[in-house]
Amino acid sequence: MKLEIMTGDITRMQVDAIVNAANTTLLGGGGVDGAIHAAAGPELLAECKTLGGCETGQAKITKGYRLPASYVIHTPGPVWRGGDYGEARQLADCYKNSLSLAVSRGCETVAFPSISTGVYRFPLQLASEIAVKTILDFLKTDKLLRRVTIVCFDDHTKSFYDKALEKLK
């Protein structure tokens, strides 16, 4: 099983790329975005300023600077607006486009946070099922990735991803 779920702090992950649940400005924010910028140092914001933002569901890559990870992949998740505004498709796009970008840069190990389930209020059960299904589908055809880790910040969040994996594997 190349997909692993754990509780922890994504800024500590020693992987080729960590994914940032960014906003469309790519200029930093709260939550996991703020934690990644704080740990990476000001050089990360300087590089992000050159990128011109990013659309919801798309992904852009920077170096990891002071992080143990070589790269940061920035993907703005959808804000939950009740489910009728394409939020599920956009969340799946975040995972798919981040993995495609990682592979195109030669990454073999990638870590994701629980995208959109913080201040963006995407329901955790649906978000976890979309995340796990999209990653498992990607892994079916990919040959480069050795490990994809979903790093949950707390055990409550992890329990949803564990259940989704149990259901979908």
Q: How far is the CB of 146 from ligand ADP (least distance, A)?
A: 21
Query: Interhelix angle for 155-168 vs 124-141, to 10°?
Result: 50
Q: How far is the CB of 140 from ligand ADP (least distance, A)?
A: 26
Between residues 91 and 99, which has the closer beta carbon with respect to ligand ADP?
91
Pairing of strands 71-76, 147-152: unpaired
Q: How far is the CB of 28 from ligand ADP (least distance, A)?
A: 11
Between residues 23 and 62, which has the closer beta carbon with respect to ligand ADP?
23
Residue 33 is a catalytic residue: yes
Distance of alpha carbon 119 from alpha carbon 113, whole angstroms: 13
Distance of alpha carbon 51 from alpha carbon 80, whole angstroms: 25
- Enter the DSSP assignment of 11: G
Between residues 32 and 69, which has the closer beta carbon with respect to ligand ADP?
32
| Options 9, 16, 33, 93, the catalytic residue | 33
Which helix H or strand E contains 100, and what residues bound it?
Answer: helix 87-104
- Enumerate binding residues for ligand ADP (CB under 6 A): 9-11, 21, 31-33, 35, 77, 113-120, 151, 153, 157
Q: Any idea which residues carry the catalytic annotation? A: 33
